[in-house]
A = this chain, B = another copy of it.
Amino acid sequence: MDRLDRKILRILQEDSTLAVADLAKKVGLSTTPCWRRIQKMEEDGVIRRRVALLDPVKVNTKVTVFVSIRTASHSIEWLKRFSEVVVDFPEVVEFYRMSGDVDYLLRVVVPDIGSYDAFYKRLIAKIEIRDVSSAFAMEQIKYTTELPLDYMVLDNQKSGED
């Protein structure tokens, strides 16, 4: 991967609807090699998928809640089941195993506080959880799916400045 590939990724992360010909023009290529580069990055798994991003307000999931979970000591069995249960909730859009104080962190999206309570009840009905604490987001100041490309490892050679 070189600077041209990075340029392509930068654009596709923002907007994947451009015609390959237009994208090619932007990065200074003709359509065929540009198309082939995209193809290759899809095969290599650099580009994982292309998706539509929806407006949370319009689909009635404006409220984000961060759920911190401390699990002290638990069996391997419990941890396995815990992960499975949590992953299956569509309201859970992010789920991390953490180092330090908190063991797991979830980002949950729901319409309102009431729905969060309902979600929480459904969650603890499925699996016993010791220490849970919820923090509500008042405002989403930034949310992007664009990963920074400044750390990418390039086969350095080739053209391009940006």
Contacts and interface: CB of A to CB of B under 8 A. Distances in A.
A145 B53 contact: yes
Nearest to A44: B58
Given A13-B51, A101-B135, A61 B141 contact: no
Given A151-B115, A153-B60, A141 B97 contact: yes
A50 B53 contact: yes
Contacts of A148: 59, 61, 90-91, 109
A59 B147 contact: yes
Contacts of A162: none
B53 A9 contact: no
Interface string A40-71: 00001111111111111011110010100000
Interface of A: 9, 12-17, 44-56, 58-61, 64, 66, 83, 86-87, 90-102, 105, 109-111, 115, 135-153
The 8 closest A-B pairs by CB, nearest first: A95-B142, A90-B148, A12-B52, A96-B137, A97-B139, A60-B151, A95-B141, A46-B58
